[in-house]
Amino acid sequence: MKKIKEWGGSFCANPYPITLFLLALVLFVLQWSYPVIMDDKWWLDKPFSLDFMVERYQIWSNRLVIESFALVFSHLPKLFRLFNSLVFVGLLDIILVNSLGRKVKYLFLLVGFFALLPISMFLIPGLMMTNLNYLWPVTAGLASFLLYRSYQERKFKHNIYIYIYILCRVYYYSLLRITSK
């Protein structure tokens, strides 16, 4: 509770943290209205096994990290929706902390800009696969830059942030395709 008070002061003086939480809750609820279609449905029908992932890597794709998450989350949709809400809200917070500042009016402005994107664009391959392939790696990449900057400015002393930085980087780099000729 002390950390919450330090981050937000009092909730009356700074409504940003509670607004961020409520936004995550709204996103979590809204995701239940999206259908399971296309790639999401395909992943749901796949077996939860290491053999499948090895075969997938050898035949089709080199995005092992992203597709490992896809395999796990396709069988745990509630957990995916929870993490997806947190990742989206985390992206908004990362953008604001590095640009305009953590203020509710800027949060709503940024949400408004994201609302301009047609939701059908995200539903074509399926909500889960679109977010795992694009939203999550971009958020991980931005988070790793933020962690690296904080490390350079000596804002934290614990090694756990280095490990989080490495995990974010690995997920971000899994977005890139590696091809051989």
Q: Residue 25: which residues within 8 A CB-CB, separation 6 or more?
A: 85
Q: What percent of the chain has pLDDT over 90?
A: 5
**DSSP at 32:** G
Average pLDDT over residues 148-158: 78
**69, 117, 144 from 154: Cα distances, Å:** 32, 37, 15
Is position 64 within any domain?
Answer: no
* Overall domain count for the chain: 1
Is position 123 within any domain?
Answer: yes
Is position 169 within any domain?
Answer: yes
Per-residue confidence (pLDDT) for residue 181, from 0 to 100 = 43
Is position 59 within any domain?
Answer: no
Is position 70 within any domain?
Answer: no
pLDDT 10s digits, 90-132: 998 988 888 888 888 888 888 888 878 777 777 777 788 888 8
Q: How far is C-alpha 96 from the geometric centre of its chain's CA atoms?
A: 16
Is position 120 within any domain?
Answer: yes
89-105 burial: b if 16+ Cβ within 10 Å, else e? bbbbbbbbeeeeebeee
Q: What percent of the chain has pLDDT over 70?
A: 89
Is position 90 within any domain?
Answer: yes
Range of the domain at 166: 2-35+77-173
Is position 159 within any domain?
Answer: yes
Q: Let me know: does 107 contact 20? Beta carbons within 8 Å.
A: yes
pLDDT 10s digits, 40-65: 777 777 777 778 778 777 777 767 78
What end-to-end distance do the CA atoms of the chain give, in Å? 55
